[in-house]
A and B are shown apart, each in its own frame.
Chain A
Amino acid sequence: MSNSRLARALVLTAWAGFFGYLWASNDMVRYLGPRTYWVVPFGFITLGAAAAAHFVALGSERRSWTGTRAAKGLSRSDLIGIAALMLPIVAAAAVPQAELGALAVSRKATGAGATAGLVAPPAPEAGRAPNFIDVHFANESEEYATTLGIGDGTELGLVGFVSDSTTAGEFTLTRFYVSCCAADAIPYSVTVVDDQGADFPDNTWLRVNGVLANDGTEYRLVADGIEEVAEPDSPYLY
């Protein structure tokens, strides 16, 4: 029996299992956006099929073995490939609650002053509750704000995580917008004015209720109620 084939079959099985886990646990929402969710069942099926085919081939190879020669061992190339391909699974297992937080906001932000989000504005639909993206584009376009009914005094409730709490009496609340995967996540932030001056550490998930107030440069959310909440099942905006 070829050790190389066996090892490759096992790694393929491990990857099929990882995709299966992401699918069954719905943990894929941390890694991917809805446009690429299909990759997970697709990967589970194709990698699982490849692993099964490999085991079948292994069985037939074993039956057709004509002598007692030593089995083909693992080459250095095999070992490097196997180790490399196991690395993402090991990393995901070692850091099971990996998430994009305040550090990622500082790295992914696209310019001081710009509130980081750069996604093309969604078509404004009157009547729906504004979210982080809407507030961002309301800062950019008066027409957009008007269509969504965003203005001074608009009541708003947002769930996000604290991404910057260095200024007294205010902090930045953020959600990531994900299109395809975490690599393309884009942060959208809203400044929250908190008269109570509560000290929330970075990455704390909060529900903030309040009213919007434009300070001349941007809409800020003046909080009248802040509570700590658990991270939502789906941590991103889509």
Chain B
Amino acid sequence: MAVMSIDTATVRRPDTRRLTGALLLGALALVVVGRAAGLDQVPAAGTFVLIFTSLVVEALPFVLMGALVSAVIEVYVPLHWFAKVANLPVPVQLPAAALGGFAFPVCECGSVPVARRLIAKGMHPSAGLAFMLASPILNPIVLVSTAVAYAGRGVATEMVLGRAGLGLILALAAGWAIGGEGAKDLLRPRPDDVAAAHPDPSRAPESRFSSFTGHLAADFFFMGRFVVLGGAIAALMQTAIPQSIVSGVAQTPIVGALALMGLAFVLSLCSEADAFVAVSFVQFPLGSQLAFLVFGPVVDAKLVLLYGATFRRRFVLRLTAIALPVTLAGSLWFEVMMQP
């Protein structure tokens, strides 16, 4: 293969350079102005930035892991594997995909790009969705963290079984109900899909490694922006809205469960860490805490944006319409079962 240097006179694109330069200058200006204005001393700014940054720092490595798995699936897993899976009857694909979540140790930010890739590669949408919704709840890290968090309360086994059971039921129900339509009707097209489908003919074929890094970065940057935006919204809500407004309804089972589901939506916590927060809501019954643990990894502020970018319109509404009653009913039943 000929090694050629690039004629820099022809590769420069003034608009791109100008925009990149403007971005860098803008970022620098924000830092300088922020420091000069003493934003450190503004309580709301400090609270917002700390919560915002901590959410993104905690989530971003998992987004990368999800993008990594997604890129491996795209580049290194042979197509005929997916053809085999796609030929399986849906009643087999659906539970198998949901149970596959046990073996995928990333949180909800990582499961979305993987599910998207699986569906795009031919897995039945119902199965892909079941995997996406089940893996943040069923994966071993989440279940272990739930057990550790509740060990001190003496209900570790009950909470782990309750979370895994209700999470599995929700994933199967939502996957079955929403995934009936085809992949094209479910997935929102992305610019990278177009680029992959119509490669630039002037370029030599990409090496597998180059293709792998390209897909890895494409997914990471695509999903990452929504994690950042979701983190900003969650931080803004935590900075502006007192959480005490939900504590007054703690002891009412239905309202308490709804309140904690609302809080799970606002907090947008990583499923691998949320059990330590859920266990802190001691004035809420265990059923309401279970609702927090099951609803949060399926529908929260950052996920709504991520779903909106990944799936077509109305997906979030349809998912919420299923997740809310299923979680509520399951948590109430769990509460009854936990009564002495």
Contact = CB atoms under 8 A, between A and B. Distances in A.
Interface residues of B, number: 93
Given A87-B228, A120-B280, A183-B235, A66 B204 contact: yes
A69 B152 CA distance: 64
A71 B13 contact: yes
Given A97-B40, A111-B244, A85 B224 contact: yes
Interface residues of A, number: 93
Contacts of A111: 244, 247-248, 283
Contacts of A80: 225
Contacts of A9: 217
Given A35-B276, A66-B203, A75 B191 contact: yes
A72 B202 CA distance: 11
A65 B203 contact: yes
Contacts of B33: 94
Given A82-B221, A95-B46, A181-B57, 12 more contacts: A8-B221, A50-B217, A65-B204, A71-B13, A78-B221, A79-B20, A80-B225, A94-B49, A100-B51, A102-B43, A111-B283, A181-B54
Interface in A72-108: 72-75, 77-88, 90-104, 106-108
SS of A interface (majority): helix
Residue of B39, B57, B65 ringed by the most chain A CB atoms within 10 A: B57
B242 A22 contact: no
Contacts of B20: 3, 7, 74, 79
B57 A183 contact: no
B43 to A, nearest CB: 4
Interface stretch (A36-44, A143-151, A226-234): A36-44
Contacts of B68: 46, 50
A71 B247 CA distance: 57
B246 to A, nearest CB: 8
Interface string A10-27: 011001000100100000
Nearest to B42: A95
Contacts of A19: 57
